[in-house]
Structures are given as structure tokens and as C-alpha cells.
Amino acid sequence: MKGISHVAVGVSDMARSLLFYRDLLGLEVMLDTEEKVGAGSRHAVYMRWGKDGGFLVLSQSLGRDPSGKPLRLHQVGLHHFAFWVDDLEKRVEKLKGAGVKIIVPPYAADTIAYGEKSGGKVLTCLFEDPDGTILQFDQRLG
């Protein structure tokens, strides 16, 4: 394997989610479209972070109410995803100012938890999107 191609996030309200992912987190919209997927259809917004980063797809089902519950931290299966950032504390203050729920406030973790040699530090923080999906920011500390 070479890396993760993309992450898809189901949303209940695309306009509200765009305000969060595009305007608050700063992801760039690459494509905003309606698509048929299997027997259903969806409003899909493809978003990119960084020039060499992956992409994220926001997906809202069309023609039916959204189903399911947001993922919870420590549940079986995927329960959050993380972005590398350079300015974590500034970003967290922006999130707080917008009323975003911070689940785990910023703290420094050892780099061994990131598959690297022990002794380095990564500043990390977990928070929720408007539907309760858990995201994380990580920043390498000098």
C-alpha cells in the first residue's frame, strides 16, 4: 500500500458541514456534485488539504433522511481521523470561538505513539464536527 486515498464523512446538513470543513478547518473544495452510488444518490463535496495531502469527501444522502449515529471514541472500528497541522493552538482557539465541542484539549504526547522513536513530542487535540464525527489535530513540537 502507498497511503490512504481519501476519507468519506457522512453528513446530515451539507451547508452546515461546509461551514465547518471549508470555512473553519480550511479545506479546499475541489468538486461539488450530485452522484448516483449504487441504488441511491448523494450530494458529494470533494475537499483537499495541502498540495500533497489526501482528500476528504463529504456525503449527504439525497431522497431519504440520514441514518446512523456519530462514531464514538474507543468504539470498535474506525472512530476518528487526524490532520497534521503547524498551528494547533491557534486552530483550537478558532474552534472554541465557533462553539466547537473539544473532546480532548491540547496535550503533548510522545512520538512513540505515532510509530516513531520515543522522546519526541506531538501536540494533539480531539474535537467534533457538527454531526459529532470525531477529528484530531496533531502538531510536531520542535
Q: How is the beta sheet containing 6-10 ordered, strand by strand?
A: 6-10, 55-62, 40-48, 28-37
My answer on whether 55 and 91 are in the same domain is no
Task: Say which DSSP state 100 is in.
Answer: P
What is the pLDDT at residue 1? 64
CB-based contacts of 70-76 (< 8 A; 24+ apart in sequence): 70/128, 70/131, 70/132, 70/133, 70/134, 71/132, 71/133, 71/134, 72/134, 73/103, 73/126, 73/134
* Domains in the chain, number: 2
What is the pLDDT at residue 89? 97
My answer on whether 90 and 122 are in the same domain is yes
Tell whether 72 is covered by a domain.
Answer: no
Tell whether 73 is covered by a domain.
Answer: no
Which amino acid, residue 58?
A: L
Task: HSE, CB side, 13 Å, CA atoms: give it for residue 106.
Answer: 18
The boundaries of the domain holding residue 50 are: 6-62
CB-based contacts of 4-9 (< 8 A; 24+ apart in sequence): 4/54, 5/54, 5/55, 6/54, 6/55, 6/56, 6/57, 7/54, 7/56, 7/57, 7/81, 8/56, 8/57, 8/59, 9/56, 9/57, 9/58, 9/59, 9/129, 9/133
95, three cell numbers: 474552534
Which CATH number do you get for residue 134? 3.10.180.10
Model-level pTM?
A: 0.89
**Low-confidence spans in the chain with pLDDT less than 70:** 1-2
